[in-house]
Amino acid sequence: MGIKVNGKIIVENYRNEIKAVISEGTSKGLRVPSIKTILVGDDGGSLSYVKSQNNLCDKLGVSYSCTHLDKDASERDIIELIEKFNEDSSVDGIILQLPLPKKYNEKEITSKISYKKDIDGLTDKNMGRFYKGENCFIPCTALGVIEMIKNTGCVIKGKHAVVLGRSNIVGKPAAQLLLNEDATVTICHSKTLNLKEICKTADIIVAAIGKPGFVTSDFIKEGAVVIDVGTTMINDKIAGDVNFYDVINHASYVTPVPGGTGLMTTTMLIKNACEAWRNNVY
């Protein structure tokens, strides 16, 4: 029987660090960090994530607001809002909640965010710097994945890691961060052949494909560390990509959903916002 990774315990240290940084700034007369989120449409996972962002900002003393646009809003409407926040010196971080409804040019709209306020690390400039190994904002979920793995005590160096999913938000940056930690990384996706056989060779599995309960015990090498990034809404509840109660009988560590990487993702987002704030006000 493996161990359930308690995300609540892991994030507490990071959150205390964030509160200390903000307290230091406000004691010098500086304003608190400010985040603006743009949500388009009514994607269940995005609605849940926005709620968690708001709740955490309240707890940590960060100014937060979400502008919720109808799914029929024009691309121009979204871009004008981004440009407004770009020009507002009191705004430190801008979040464009993804995925956008399919009719929008997601790449084009995301590119309008100032790289200095791109706390999700999704603009071309931040992504380019990331893959070149330069200072930048790194996608929060990928950062959270690495921190969750490290907190299990797993030494990543030399391990075989399999990442299920190749999105720009999670799969690709998580794979790059694992490479940075000297893992041997395989990225799998919907066209991968012999998927189960590949997964069974993995010391670390990161599941980020958006298919609830897809990863079962027959994917798992005995003693593997399994990180579940799935956030699919089913009957008003969030479900992960991993069949937790099946997989935990074979893995050494498994992150639950909820209570796992979601908590870490939001925390890393606020951490990035604090860095943007410090760059802006100091």
Give the residue numbers of the binding site for NADP(+).
165-167, 231
Residues 273, 91: Cα–Cα separation, whole Å: 10
Q: How far is CA 229 from CA 62, 209, 242, 246, 260, in A?
A: 25, 8, 9, 17, 8
Tell me the CB-side half-sphere exposure of residue 218, using CA atoms within 13 A.
4
Helix boundaries (H) for the chain: 7-27, 44-60, 75-87, 106-110, 124-132, 140-151, 171-180, 195-199, 244-247, 261-281
The pair of three-digit structure tokens given for residue 58, joined into one six-digit string = 């309240």
Are the C-beta atoms of residues 279 and 23 closer than 8 Å to each other?
no
Residues in binding site: 165-167, 231
Residues 8, 139: Cα–Cα separation, whole Å: 20
Residues 24, 147: Cα–Cα separation, whole Å: 25
Name the residue with tokens 């996972």: 45
3-state SS, residue 94:
strand
The pair of three-digit structure tokens given for residue 113, joined into one six-digit string = 């965010």
Q: First CA to last CA across the chain, in angstroms? A: 49
Tell me the CB-side half-sphere exposure of residue 105, using CA atoms within 13 A.
9
Are the C-beta atoms of residues 93 and 119 closer than 8 Å to each other?
yes
